[in-house]
Structure 1
Amino acid sequence: MGIRSIVSKPLAKWVVERQQNWMYQPAEAQQRWFRQLIDGGRNTVFGQDHKFKDIQTIGEFRQAVPVRDYEDLKPYIEQILHGESDVLWKGKPLYFAKTSGTTSGVKYIPISHESIPNHINSARDALLNYVNETGKSAFLDKKLIFLSGSPELTQKEGINIGRLSGIVNHHVPAYLRTNQLPSYETNVIDDWETKLEKVIYETITQPMSLISGIPPWVQMYFDRIQERTGKLIKDVFPDFSLFVYGGVNFEPYRAKLFESIGKRIDSIETYPASEGFIAFQDSQTEEGLLMLLDSGIFFEFIAADEYFTENPRRLTIDEVELGKNYAVIINNNAGLWGYSLGDTVKFVSREPYRLLVTGRIKHFISAFGEHVIGEEVEKALKGAMEKHPETEVVEFTVAPMVSPKEGLPYHEWLVEFATPPNDPVAFAQDVDNRLTKLNVYYDDLITGSILQPLKLTGLPRGAFQRYMKSQGKLGGQNKVPRLANDRKIADGLLGIGETV
């Protein structure tokens, strides 16, 4: 046993013991952060504009600070980009995490000296919770790979700018750097396919024990290795024992990924965002991800079905209910105030608070009033795959067909199969039946003959990769939205190649 695995066990025990201080006193932890954040932002431009000096209670804060998205915050970001200090948070940001927005183009999300530990320590603690619970630590002595964006940074007004995964790469602890892959030179390659070939070259002969990344891009890595070697991943990497992922629901990828590996291995789900590290899987036996309530963020929640109303209620952690979808609002020590993250979550436990990520607040189909959300389409697909166990899905997205050439409107499911169902018609019917049970409005539209049952369109292998490449979003942290209210993505995919 190596020094890393030996040292990790007492460190893991210490981290988990410290967690107990806030896990079972969540409201108190959040109240402390609320006060610290108001004090920290009091003398900023934002704090003066919103009269932080007069704010004593959460209610007064909500009166002063509306829920906003990036566009609303952009004028303050522009001031920082022009060199001003003390705008959203004291001083200047340490970094801007550069990310793509659906309506805003490039977004610049501030990360401060005070907020960077949220990103770094949370990733560390996810691994240490695993070590503490399972006793498994030998993976730390072998090679670790993080499939991520480029760590190369640019500068503007003394602020480093880059992708979040690249920024975090600069903070990998020294004791892990010696067994981290790929090399810096490979990691900075922009073209994903070129980078992937170099990653494979550097890793294929190494004792890889931990692999981390967004599932579809890890699958692409595995596919290329299998094409080259003709072997299952377990035979290429016999030490591979832990998969760390985040960013998308793992379920649609699980069967194909484990088939490529050739054995079951442990996995850790994480919920990082440029705006903050929100939660991680702290247990291999309990459902959901532990919400990080003592890490520089004061959270608020809005019921998803109230989000677009005129005056939606903003709730604190102790006011949320189990099993209900909420939009996540964050206030943090990088200067995001009343910021709508865009994600929806559902709590499955209150002692401690654990959640599932259920989708995006603006990623839904409601072309006919059905308001179908990401969690529902993923559950519908999973249910059909269980009835058709031969089926393996690479990727999928759903779009409305409002004005078909013939017949009633419908939802079109564009699916790239690794292994298609033996009976595609029955498979599509099973997906549709499951969706009608999950969404009463969709059921009403089907039974009322407003919509016809969904139509399944199979796409050729590699269609999603080619589409993402055509959009300049191949690899890294990029994801295909599950749902849209228009046909931009659907038509782009159909234009890539013939359907199957």
Structure 2
Amino acid sequence: MGVKAFLSKPLAALAHSRQQSWMQNPAEAQQKILQNLLQKGANTAFGKDHHFKDIQNHQEFAQAVPVGDYEALKPYFDRVKEGEKNVLWPGQPLYFAKTSGTTSGTKYIPITQDSMPNHVSGGKSALLSYIHETGRSQFLDGKLIFLSGSPELEKVSGINTGRLSGIINHHVPGYLRRDQLPSYKTNCIDDWETKLDAIINETIDQRMTLISGIPPWVQMYFDKIMARTGKQIKDVFPDFNLFVYGGVNFAPYRAKLYESIGRKVDSIETFPASEGFFAYQNLQEDPGLLLMADSGIFFEFVPVEEFHNPNPTRLTVAEVKTDVNYALIINSNAGLWGYSIGDTVKFTSLFPHKLVVSGRLKHFISAFGEHVIAEEVEGALQDAMKEFPEVAVTEFTVAPYVSPDAGASYHEWLIAFAQAPQEPEQFAKALDVHLRKRNAYYDDLIAGNILSTLKVTALAPNAFQEYMKQQGKLGGQNKVPRLSNDRTLADGLLANL
């Protein structure tokens, strides 16, 4: 056992002890954070506009600060971007995390001196929890790969700006940096396919022990390695034993990924975003993600059905229930106030407060009043694949097909199969049955002949990759929407057939 692996164990024990202190009383930790945020934000432009000095509790905060998204805060963001100080948080941000938006164009999310530790500590806490639980730390003695965006930064009003993953790259601890791959030069390559080939050149003969990235892009990395070597990943990287991922539900990719590896490896799911690091998996046998209740973010939870109400119910960690879909709202020391990140979550347990990401507020189908969400289509696909074990999926999306003829409309599932079902029609029927079980409104529409049963359109394994390439979105930071309420994505994919 190397020095890093050996020294990580007492560090993991210390981190676990600290974790227990807030994990058992998250409401107290959250209350302290809210008080701190209000105190520090009181003299900012936003704090003055919303009378932070007069706010005594969460109820008064919820009355003073509305729930909104990037668009709602954009006038303040624009002032920060122009170089004004003390707008949303004292001083100026350290960075802008640059990300694409649907209505706002490019978004510039501030990262401050106070919020930077949240982004860094999330991944660190996830790894230390894993070490404490399993006793396995040998991965620290090998090479670690993080499939990420370019670490090259540009200046916007004197503030370093770039992709979040590229920014985080500058804050990888020194004791890990010397074993981190790919090299800085390779990480700066813009074209994803060129970059992937360069990453393979640098890693293929190394002792890789940890691989981290969004599952579909890690799968691309594996596919290229197998095409080059003719070997499974376990034979190329025999010491690879830990996969860290986030950004999308792993379930649809699990079978294909493990088939590529050739054996099961431990995995850790994380819940990061440009706006913050929110939760991580702290136990191998529990898929729930532990909410980071003591990391500079005050969380609120709005029942999904109330999200578009003028004054929705805003719950704290002390008030949430399990098995209810909530819109996740954050208030942070990056100067984000009443900010909806667009994700929906569902708590799987309380004390400790663990959750799963159930979908996106904007990613749903309700063309016929069914309001099908990502959690339901991903669950239906997972259940159908259990009945058809030969099936392997690389990517999929679902869109409505609206017909002028009564009863002729349906949901179209566009699925890129790595291994197609032997009985396609039976697979589609199973998919439909499982979706009907998960969504009563969809079931009623089928039963009432308002909708026809879903149809599956099989695509080539690389169909989504080719489409994303055409859109200039091929790369480790871009994700395919699971559902759309229109046919823009579906028609784009079909145009390539």
- Which band: TM-score by shorter chain? over 0.9
Question: Per-residue CA shift, 1:341-362, capped at 9, x if unaligned?
Answer: 1000110110100001111011
Instruction: Quote how far apart the aligned CAs of 1:405 are.
Output: 7.6
Mapped to 1, the partners of 2:311 and 2:427 lie a distance apart of: 42
Contact preservation (8 Å) 2:22, 2:294? yes
Contact preservation (8 Å) 2:272, 2:279? yes
Mapped to 2, the partners of 1:218 and 1:122 lie a distance apart of: 21
1:432 corresponding residue in structure 2: 432
Counterpart secondary structure, 2:279: strand
2:455 corresponding residue in structure 1: 455
The share of aligned pairs that are identical, in percent, is: 66
Whether 2:130 is the aligned partner of 1:130: answer yes
2:73 corresponding residue in structure 1: 73
1:160 corresponding residue in structure 2: 160
Mapped to 2, the partners of 1:95 and 1:16 lie a distance apart of: 30
2:465 corresponding residue in structure 1: 465
The amino acid that maps onto 1:14 is: L
1:410 corresponding residue in structure 2: 410
Mapped to 1, the partners of 2:448 and 2:141 lie a distance apart of: 60
Whether 2:264 is the aligned partner of 1:287: answer no
Matches for 1:83-94 after TM superposition, within 5 Å: 83-94=83-94
Instruction: Quote how far apart the aligned CAs of 1:60 are.
Output: 1.0
1:323 corresponding residue in structure 2: 323
The amino acid that maps onto 1:408 is: A
Whether 2:274 is the aligned partner of 1:256: answer no
Contact preservation (8 Å) 2:98, 2:108? yes
Counterpart secondary structure, 2:318: helix
1:364 corresponding residue in structure 2: 364
Matches for 1:60-459 after TM superposition, within 5 Å: 60-403=60-403, 408-459=408-459
The amino acid that maps onto 1:244 is: V
Question: Per-residue CA shift, 1:373-395, capped at 9, x if unaligned?
Answer: 00000010011100000000000
Contact preservation (8 Å) 2:407, 2:449? no
Counterpart secondary structure, 1:317: coil
Mapped to 1, the partners of 2:75 and 2:459 lie a distance apart of: 42
Counterpart secondary structure, 1:321: coil
Contact preservation (8 Å) 2:97, 2:111? yes
Contact preservation (8 Å) 2:407, 2:450? no
The amino acid that maps onto 1:319 is: E
Counterpart secondary structure, 1:124: helix
Mapped to 2, the partners of 1:191 and 1:362 lie a distance apart of: 28
Instruction: Quote how far apart the aligned CAs of 1:455 are.
Output: 0.6
Mapped to 1, the partners of 2:472 and 2:331 lie a distance apart of: 31
- Tell me whether 323-332 or 303-312 shows the greater mean CA deviation: 303-312
Mapped to 2, the partners of 1:119 and 1:250 lie a distance apart of: 21
Instruction: Quote how far apart the aligned CAs of 1:496 are.
Output: 1.6
Question: Per-residue CA shift, 1:110-144, capped at 9, x if unaligned?
Answer: 10000000000111110010000000001101000
Contact preservation (8 Å) 2:407, 2:451? no
Contact preservation (8 Å) 2:242, 2:265? yes
The amino acid that maps onto 1:207 is: R
Instruction: Quote how far apart the aligned CAs of 1:406 are.
Output: 9.0
Instruction: Quote how far apart the aligned CAs of 1:404 are.
Output: 6.3
Residues 368 and 180 of structure 1: is their aligned pair in 2 closer, same or farther, counting only changes over 3 Å? same
Counterpart secondary structure, 1:286: coil
Question: Per-residue CA shift, 1:372-423, capped at 9, x if unaligned?
Answer: 0000000100111000000000000000001268961100000000000000
Counterpart secondary structure, 1:298: strand
The amino acid that maps onto 1:456 is: V
Mapped to 2, the partners of 1:345 and 1:194 lie a distance apart of: 36
Mapped to 1, the partners of 2:290 and 2:470 lie a distance apart of: 37
2:483 corresponding residue in structure 1: 483
Mapped to 2, the partners of 1:224 and 1:42 lie a distance apart of: 52
Question: Per-residue CA shift, 1:26-58, capped at 9, x if unaligned?
Answer: 100000000000001000000011111111111
Mapped to 2, the partners of 1:312 and 1:58 lie a distance apart of: 14
Mapped to 2, the partners of 1:399 and 1:311 lie a distance apart of: 31
Mapped to 1, the partners of 2:157 and 2:123 lie a distance apart of: 29
Instruction: Quote how far apart the aligned CAs of 1:369 are.
Output: 0.4
Mapped to 1, the partners of 2:169 and 2:247 lie a distance apart of: 17
Mapped to 1, the partners of 2:332 and 2:83 lie a distance apart of: 21
Instruction: Quote how far apart the aligned CAs of 1:311 are.
Output: 2.4
Question: Per-residue CA shift, 1:75-131, capped at 9, x if unaligned?
Answer: 111111111000000000001000111221111101000000000011111001000
Mapped to 2, the partners of 1:104 and 1:495 lie a distance apart of: 27
- Tell me whether 215-224 or 280-289 shows the greater mean CA deviation: 280-289
Whether 2:34 is the aligned partner of 1:7: answer no
- Tell me whether 154-163 or 427-436 shows the greater mean CA deviation: 154-163
Counterpart secondary structure, 2:362: coil
Instruction: Quote how far apart the aligned CAs of 1:287 are.
Output: 3.2
- Tell me whether 279-288 or 227-236 shows the greater mean CA deviation: 279-288
| Structure 1 gap segments, 5+ residues each | none
- Tell me whether 376-385 or 308-317 shows the greater mean CA deviation: 308-317
The amino acid that maps onto 2:280 is: F
2:40 corresponding residue in structure 1: 40
Mapped to 1, the partners of 2:126 and 2:360 lie a distance apart of: 24
The amino acid that maps onto 1:17 is: S
Question: Per-residue CA shift, 1:254-282, capped at 9, x if unaligned?
Answer: 00000000001000000001101000000
The amino acid that maps onto 2:464 is: F
Mapped to 1, the partners of 2:177 and 2:496 lie a distance apart of: 40
Instruction: Quote how far apart the aligned CAs of 1:461 are.
Output: 2.5
Mapped to 1, the partners of 2:223 and 2:209 lie a distance apart of: 18
- Tell me whether 404-413 or 346-355 shows the greater mean CA deviation: 404-413
Mapped to 2, the partners of 1:495 and 1:286 lie a distance apart of: 41
Alignment RMSD, CA only? 0.9
Mapped to 2, the partners of 1:347 and 1:359 lie a distance apart of: 13
* Count of equivalent residues: 497
The amino acid that maps onto 1:482 is: R
Contact preservation (8 Å) 2:406, 2:450? no
Instruction: Quote how far apart the aligned CAs of 1:225 are.
Output: 0.3
The amino acid that maps onto 2:312 is: P
Counterpart secondary structure, 1:18: helix
Question: Per-residue CA shift, 1:454-479, capped at 9, x if unaligned?
Answer: 01000122110011111111012110
Instruction: Quote how far apart the aligned CAs of 1:230 are.
Output: 0.2
1:492 corresponding residue in structure 2: 492
Mapped to 1, the partners of 2:334 and 2:116 lie a distance apart of: 9
Question: Per-residue CA shift, 1:400-451, capped at 9, x if unaligned?
Answer: 0012689611000000000000000000000000011100000000000100
